[in-house]
Structure 1
Amino acid sequence: MITFSGVARRSRAALVTALLTAAALSTAAGAAPTSHPAPGPPARPATPTPRTVSAWLPYWDQEGAYQDALLHADQLHTVSPFWYEAVSAGRIDAHPGAGERRIIDGLHRAGTKVVPTVMETMKSGALAAILTSPARRTEHADALMRTVATRDYDGLDLDYESIAATGDATYVSVRDGFTALATDLCRRLHALGKQCVITVFPKTATTGRIWDYAALGRVADRIRIMGYNLHWSGGDPGPLADTRWYDDILTRATALVPAAKLEMGLPAYGWDWPADSTSTSATKHVTWKEAEALRAAKGAPYRFDEVSGTPYFTYDDGTESREVWYQDARGVAVHLPVLRKHGVSGTALWALDFEDPEVWPVLAGR
């Protein structure tokens, strides 16, 4: 069943922080984590470019993200509106604006597939209880299929992240339960000619609890790796991504999943930390647009960390020193050779209307 719940009443900032914090919990558990000067408008290519990019469309910036998607439809093969949340075995709630037909129809006319994301932030143990029960798994798969049937969708993207908080004693059974759910769901979606996409944490040398890449790679059409939050809101300042980190992630991923099925998730956002690790001030989420506006307002010089391949700057807010790390087109250009090295051409942008506009010609030339 699809209902509007308390999810619809959450503030944008609270939900964004909750989602990206959940994505970063795997780092705290010993695993991989999840989630320049302002340029002018990007030049439009003279001929259609390879459609190697998918992107998430945030419901809290729905119109801006939709217009951004239309502007770059020649590069976007798939848009995943961040529209649904699984809250129990038989219930999928809708975020505000979910299923807007104008957006679905407009993207389809532009030649872009619409594969909405179903996420979850269940309380500890709730997802595990669903995944380890065959009856509840079937009930949940039924609910997901009802969701995809509500509109002219081209498939579903599952972004389930509670595995990071699953205890060691139940980790294997929960992981295998998710594989069973994904196998059932993908089979059903494929029977209808629809796509099955799974979003996962990065797997690295220090990975702890994570979904089964190899098994999911056999049943899903695409596996999206959240290549961001190397440093996150709950930790010390630093880059959200790193060339060496990407190399480690893709070395392991391509050994388990065909490179053609992989999409590397690229951040179009950043974090604004207090520079003093003992500070009690909040770390703030910023999009590329917000980071650049803040940098300009503070008159802070643009800096680029050559080691990680990411921009950053520092400023004084009147009470303390702050440090902002984010991602822009220059950083993406530094990271793309790592993807090429591993034969990965797919990318997934988090998220539309967050990004440096110059990232599109960079991706077009990849």
Structure 2
Amino acid sequence: MKKICCLFVILFVITTMGIAGAAEKKIIIKTPDKIIQTEDNANLIDGKIKIPLNLVKDYLYQNMAIDNPNKQVLINFSMPKIKFNNDKTNNLIFNGFKIMYPLEKINNNDYLNIDRLGLLLGISIEENEDNIIITTNRNSYYNPVKLNYSATNDLAKIVMVWQPILTESAATEKLPALNILSPSWFSIVSADGMIANKADYQYSVMAKENKYKLWPLITNSFDPDLTHKFLNDKNARKNIIKQLVVYAGLYEVDGINFDFENIYESDRELLNQFMLEATKALHDINVKVSIDVTAPMDDSQWSKCYDRKTLGKIVDYVMLMAYDEHWRTSPVSGSVASLPWVENGVVNTLKDVPNEKLVLGLPFYMREWQEQTVAGKIKVKAKTVAMHEIDTIIKDKKLKPLWLEDKGQDYVQYQQDGAIYKIWIENEKSLDKKINLVEKYNLAGVAAWRKGFEKPEVWQLLEEKLNSKVPEETTTCIKKPKKKNKKSTML
């Protein structure tokens, strides 16, 4: 990036005034034999240091390429500059690994958040009043930095929430009962097992400050053909596992949650094999492993693909997705999670999975169903309604909920513009009934889909029902350097 002219600086300041803590500083590169005053600027937003991709490639590391479809940069580390305290893990990454790292567009230029990536690049960063100073060769293949991982996962009852939205809000809120956050950070996106990475170390730091455990979610992109390819490729499976181990160390995670859905039934045994390989590698660094499954039913790609008995022996926890009884495109209206349907799913899953490993999935949402008669046939459409939205609908439509004892839910319906609208409500009353199943069957806890859909009262309900305790131990992966007079951070 060429030297920024005064007019550009003014325009930049104007465009960033709305961003808390936004600033720019010149970048200086210090190598063993020279100091380079670059013409590039680092972008500082909320304590995150972001530097131009071109500068990284020109001065720090060249073996990287942009993956445009995923808006990531693919980085090949043929000679790793990190190591773990575990010999098995070090042997796993000894011959190198590839990772994907998120790119960010700032003023039409590609930037990288250098936080944590600096560990892999073997650099350190110092910040003074005017400059960002990057020192190279801080660590090397022959003098690697250690990821001293010591995850702790001692919990009473699990209370986990999935968070697909990439914000830090859940990590910054201290909520009753909640003890595990599962942000949607990782997705397998290629047949050779590359993982699109949307992780945020700042999220991890804030989660730890609030005594939350961090179990990021990884998906198979819900693509059966892609899943078939990487499960059938031993090298692809190993590639996935290498990346997960590295990410676990970089972002200081306590667990990994595998959300693999829409899988060919013929790949069932290979899924077992992959989970066995992944679990062994993650256990070597004390990282818990969980997998999400549906209730047993007669559906090849959404249920029969899971060998629950074998998976229950391999992983630490099995999350039962006890919702979507009537999915969004269902041809008939109905509840997302009626109590008898949920309990039946629990009972049938317990035939294969030990109760101490089974976690009950809860919905923080419902669906509003629209039924219209067209040419003598009822056409059904649905939209998702968050728990916190239902009271407004009830008030605006002047509705009176009817308790359905056989469903364990309130129910409302109304007519509008020639259509009938039906809602089987998820609220504190319906969740209370479902949470009772945890005690009845002595389950490991609950996991809710999803953060942001709930009503605030839900957390107090969970606290009262499960009395979840959060351990005092913290997770420490990186040995932090002693503070110097200069503001200095080793990445």
Q: TM-score range by the shorter chain?
A: 0.7 to 0.9
Query: Which residue of the partner structure matches residue 350 of structure 1?
Result: 449
Q: State how far apart, in whole Å, the 2-side matches of 1:288 and 1:6 are.
A: 34
Specify which of 270, 279, 288 is matched with residue 186 of structure 1. 279
Specify which of 158, 171, 180 is matched with residue 52 of structure 1. 158
Q: Compute the TM-score of the two structures, normalised by the length of structure 1.
A: 0.77
Query: Which residue of the partner structure matches residue 295 of structure 2?
Result: 202
Q: Kindly provide the CA deviation profile for residues 50-71 of structure 1, in whole angstroms up to 9, marking residues without a partner as x.
A: 65311112215x354445xx23
Amino acid at match of 1:54: M
Amino acid at match of 1:240: V
Amino acid at match of 2:313: R
Aligned 8 A contact 1:141 1:181 in 2 = no
Q: State how far apart, in whole Å, the 2-side matches of 1:350 and 1:199 are.
A: 12
Aligned 8 A contact 2:368 2:383 in 1 = yes
Q: State how far apart, in whole Å, the 1-side matches of 2:242 and 2:443 are.
A: 33
- Which structure: greater helix fraction? 1
| Aligned: 1:158 with 2:258 | yes
Q: State how far apart, in whole Å, the 1-side matches of 2:65 and 2:457 are.
A: 38
Q: State how far apart, in whole Å, the 2-side matches of 1:230 and 1:119 are.
A: 21
Q: State how far apart, in whole Å, the 1-side matches of 2:383 and 2:245 are.
A: 36
Question: Compared with structure 1, are the counterparts of its residues 342 and 4 closer, same or farther at alpha carbon in structure 2 (3 Å cutoff)?
Answer: farther
Q: Kindly provide the CA deviation profile for residues 273-308 of structure 1, in whole angstroms up to 9, marking residues without a partner as x.
A: 112375667421121112332222222222332211
| Aligned: 1:132 with 2:225 | no
What is the CA distance between 1:184 and its match in structure 2? Answer: 0.7
Amino acid at match of 2:270: G
Specify which of 201, 222, 233 is matched with residue 101 of structure 1. 201
| Aligned: 1:252 with 2:252 | no
What is the CA distance between 1:231 and its match in structure 2? Answer: 0.9
Query: Which residue of the partner structure matches residue 141 of structure 1?
Result: 241
Query: Which residue of the partner structure matches residue 309 of structure 2?
Result: 214
Partner SS, residue 340 of structure 1: helix
Amino acid at match of 1:107: A
CA RMSD of aligned residues (A): 2.8
What is the CA distance between 1:264 and its match in structure 2? Answer: 0.4
Amino acid at match of 1:59: I
Q: Kindly provide the CA deviation profile for residues 162-220 of structure 1, in whole angstroms up to 9, marking residues without a partner as x.
A: 22xx2xxxx24x01111111111111111011111111111258785231112111121
Amino acid at match of 1:224: M
Mapping of residues 227-242 of structure 1, within 5 Å: 227-235=322-330, 236-242=332-338
Q: State how far apart, in whole Å, the 1-side matches of 2:304 and 2:235 are.
A: 24
Q: State how far apart, in whole Å, the 2-side matches of 1:330 and 1:346 are.
A: 18
Unaligned runs of 5+ in 1: 9-48
Identity %: 22
| Aligned: 1:223 with 2:318 | yes
Deviates more, 1:76-85 or 1:134-143: 134-143
Q: State how far apart, in whole Å, the 1-side matches of 2:441 and 2:67 are.
A: 42
Question: Compared with structure 1, are the counterparts of its residues 147 and 269 closer, same or farther at alpha carbon in structure 2 (3 Å cutoff)?
Answer: same
Q: Compute the TM-score of the two structures, normalised by the length of structure 2.
A: 0.58
Partner SS, residue 237 of structure 2: helix
Query: Which residue of the partner structure matches residue 404 of structure 2?
Result: 305
Question: Compared with structure 1, are the counterparts of its residues 248 and 58 closer, same or farther at alpha carbon in structure 2 (3 Å cutoff)?
Answer: same
What is the CA distance between 1:265 and its match in structure 2? Answer: 0.4
Q: State how far apart, in whole Å, the 2-side matches of 1:189 and 1:323 are.
A: 45
Question: Compared with structure 1, are the counterparts of its residues 342 and 281 closer, same or farther at alpha carbon in structure 2 (3 Å cutoff)?
Answer: closer
Aligned 8 A contact 1:64 1:353 in 2 = no
What is the CA distance between 1:159 and its match in structure 2? Answer: 0.1
Question: Compared with structure 1, are the counterparts of its residues 182 and 295 closer, same or farther at alpha carbon in structure 2 (3 Å cutoff)?
Answer: same
Q: State how far apart, in whole Å, the 1-side matches of 2:400 and 2:394 are.
A: 7
Question: Compared with structure 1, are the counterparts of its residues 268 and 332 closer, same or farther at alpha carbon in structure 2 (3 Å cutoff)?
Answer: same
Q: State how far apart, in whole Å, the 1-side matches of 2:451 and 2:287 are.
A: 23
Aligned 8 A contact 1:259 1:342 in 2 = yes
Deviates more, 1:111-120 or 1:235-244: 235-244
Specify which of 55, 60, 77 is matched with residue 179 of structure 2. 77
Query: Which residue of the partner structure matches residue 87 of structure 1?
Result: 189
Amino acid at match of 2:235: A
What is the CA distance between 1:157 and its match in structure 2? Answer: 0.6
Question: Compared with structure 1, are the counterparts of its residues 129 and 202 closer, same or farther at alpha carbon in structure 2 (3 Å cutoff)?
Answer: same
Question: Compared with structure 1, are the counterparts of its residues 248 and 329 closer, same or farther at alpha carbon in structure 2 (3 Å cutoff)?
Answer: same
Q: Kindly provide the CA deviation profile for residues 100-142 of structure 1, in whole angstroms up to 9, marking residues without a partner as x.
A: 2332111111111111001133444221122133333223323
| Aligned: 1:118 with 2:188 | no
Partner SS, residue 251 of structure 2: coil
What is the CA distance between 1:253 and its match in structure 2? Answer: 2.1
Query: Which residue of the partner structure matches residue 177 of structure 1?
Result: 270
Question: Compared with structure 1, are the counterparts of its residues 2 and 315 closer, same or farther at alpha carbon in structure 2 (3 Å cutoff)?
Answer: farther
Question: Compared with structure 1, are the counterparts of its residues 71 and 293 closer, same or farther at alpha carbon in structure 2 (3 Å cutoff)?
Answer: farther
What is the CA distance between 1:346 and its match in structure 2? Answer: 0.7
Aligned 8 A contact 2:408 2:430 in 1 = yes
| Aligned: 1:361 with 2:469 | no
Amino acid at match of 1:120: N
Structure label with greater radius of gyration: 2
Query: Which residue of the partner structure matches residue 24 of structure 1?
Result: none
Aligned 8 A contact 1:230 1:241 in 2 = yes
Deviates more, 1:242-251 or 1:266-275: 242-251
Amino acid at match of 1:256: D
Question: Compared with structure 1, are the counterparts of its residues 354 and 143 closer, same or farther at alpha carbon in structure 2 (3 Å cutoff)?
Answer: same
